[in-house]
């Protein structure tokens, strides 16, 4: 070798650096590229992209914010009268499929009605940079300091899907008359679709502890992430009218009778704790934001929704992760949750991260 000339890298070393490899059954993905889109936020909870490229987000104390052209607007588009105690406050956000024309956005938040503290879904209309004309579309869901659910997403059918936690009362998840511990399906005006599995009821599925992630995979099937007790966090395929077992079953059912009654998760954490927040589908993979787990999970599912591989990204590098959505540029956008009272916030927390996996 000529003196002073560096040794060229070995082909195998280059392969390790550029590709995800599998050694002894453990998947080691290449490090994602991470940059900060916005910082200085207070517990961002949900992210939603508008057709014109603006990113809308909620902050749990009650503000709806917007990032336009890479810059966070210092003024909220709306401030709502929420009750933000424990895990409650302003949570879910979804933009109407016709948002470009009607400006409708939907939120889920905790509200003190004086007679009771409830979770509600409301619709606001964005005009000239401000969201107003609030209209309640679904009200009086049980609320508590913990287990409020409140993730929103529109389906390919144009219906609005709403997660509700068990409001710290596990038995409510199995009570067909209660909307707690359920995934709900309503029309955009709040009415109950005629093809819901239970006539006259918004209940779409039941037996949930605290589902905080919803996403549609490429074949139009609904996936949900759910907090378990002491581990046993779940990824579920949500089917109309089905029962997911809480509180009778934690994770996968252990008896034949329970397997007949309840739907097993596609994936569960076992004794590990993810504390999953939002989920997103990108390039055929499911991404799961983990709060206590402080990581981003990447799950490969085959056409039958069988888990083929699970990888860990951003392990411990950015703290608690609350939501993840796919951006129009093909990147993931991830909200941290280090100022929620359970994290260790850095100076610029909370942040919205742009992640190229």
Sheet holding 321-326, edge to edge: 33-38, 352-356, 332-336, 321-326
- Kindly report, residue by residue over 225-262, the tens digit of the pLDDT: 999 999 999 999 999 999 999 999 999 999 999 999 99
Q: CA 299 to CA 140: how far, in whole Å? A: 35
Per-residue tokens: 353? 């991260």
User: 180 — phi, psi (to 5°)?
Assistant: -80, 150
pLDDT the model gives residue 44:
98
| CB-based contacts of 289, cutoff 8 Å, min separation 6 | 213, 276, 277, 278, 279, 296, 321, 322, 323, 324, 334, 335
Confidence at residue 65, expressed as pLDDT on a 0 to 100 scale = 98
CA torsion 35-40-45-50 (nearest 10°) is -60
Using the Cα atoms of residue 141, residue 43, residue 103 and residue 354 in order, give the sign of their dihedral.
Answer: negative
At 31 the pLDDT is: 87
Q: What is the pLDDT of residues 105-136, one digit of tens each?
A: 999 999 999 999 999 999 999 999 999 999 99
Alpha helices in 95-141 (DSSP H): 99-102
Give the three-state DSSP class for 353: strand
Specify the DSSP class assigned to residue 12.
H
At residue 28, the pLDDT reads 53
227 Cβ contact partners less than 8 Å away, ≥ 6 residues apart: 147, 165, 209, 210, 211, 212, 233, 275, 276
Beta bridge partners of 314: none
Report the CATH fold assignment for 27-356: Neuraminidase (2.120.10)
**147 counts as catalytic:** yes
The two tokens of residue 11 are 């082909």
3-state secondary structure of 315: coil
313 class by beta-carbon count within 10 Å (0-12 exposed, 13-18 middle, 19+ buried): buried
- Give me the catalytic one of 104, 147, 208, 318: 147
**CA 310, CA 266: separation in Å to the nearest integer?**
12
| Total-model pTM | 0.91
Report pLDDT for 328: 97
Q: Which residues of the chain have pLDDT under 50?
A: 1-26
Q: What is the pLDDT of residue 19?
A: 40
Domains of the chain, residue spans:
27-356
CA distances from 183 to 44, 109, 201, 338, 351 (A): 22, 16, 11, 27, 29
């Amino acid at each position: 070798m000529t003196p002073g000339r560096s040794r060229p890298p070995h082909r195998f070393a280059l392969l390790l650096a550029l590709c995800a490899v599998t050694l002894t059954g453990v998947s080691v993905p290449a490090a994602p590229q991470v940059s900060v889109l916005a910082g200085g936020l207070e517990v961002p909870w949900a992210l939603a992209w508008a057709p014109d490229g603006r990113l809308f987000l909620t902050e749990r104390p009650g503000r709806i914010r917007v990032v336009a052209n890479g810059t966070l607007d210092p003024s909220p588009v709306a401030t709502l009268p929420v009750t933000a105690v424990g895990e409650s406050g302003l949570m879910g956000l979804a933009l109407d499929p016709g948002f470009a024309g009607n400006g409708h956005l939907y939120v889920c938040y905790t509200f003190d009605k004086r007679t009771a503290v409830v979770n509600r879904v409301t619709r606001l209309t964005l005009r000239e940079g401000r969201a107003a004309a609030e209209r309640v579309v679904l009200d009086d869901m049980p609320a508590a300091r913990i287990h409020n659910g409140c993730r929103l997403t529109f389906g390919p059918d144009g219906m609005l899907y709403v997660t509700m936690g068990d409001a710290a009362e596990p038995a409510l998840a199995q009570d067909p008359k209660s909307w707690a511990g359920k995934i709900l399906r309503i029309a955009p005006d709040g009415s109950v679709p005629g093809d819901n599995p239970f006539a006259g009821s918004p209940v779409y599925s039941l037996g949930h502890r605290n589902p905080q992630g919803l996403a549609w995979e490429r074949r139009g099937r609904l996936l949900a992430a759910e907090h378990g007790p002491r581990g046993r966090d779940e990824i579920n395929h949500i089917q109309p009218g089905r029962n997911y077992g809480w509180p009778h079953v934690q994770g996968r059912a252990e008896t034949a009778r329970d397997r007949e009654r309840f739907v097993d998760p596609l994936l569960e954490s076992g004794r590990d704790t993810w504390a999953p927040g939002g989920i997103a589908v990108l390039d055929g993979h499911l991404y799961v934001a983990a709060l206590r787990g402080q990581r981003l999970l990447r799950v490969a599912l085959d056409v039958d929704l069988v888990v083929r591989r699970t990888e860990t990204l951003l392990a411990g590098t950015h703290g608690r992760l609350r939501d993840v959505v796919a951006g129009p540029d093909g990147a993931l956008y991830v909200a941290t949750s280090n100022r929620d009272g359970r994290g260790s916030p850095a100076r610029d927390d909370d942040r919205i991260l742009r992640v190229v996996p």
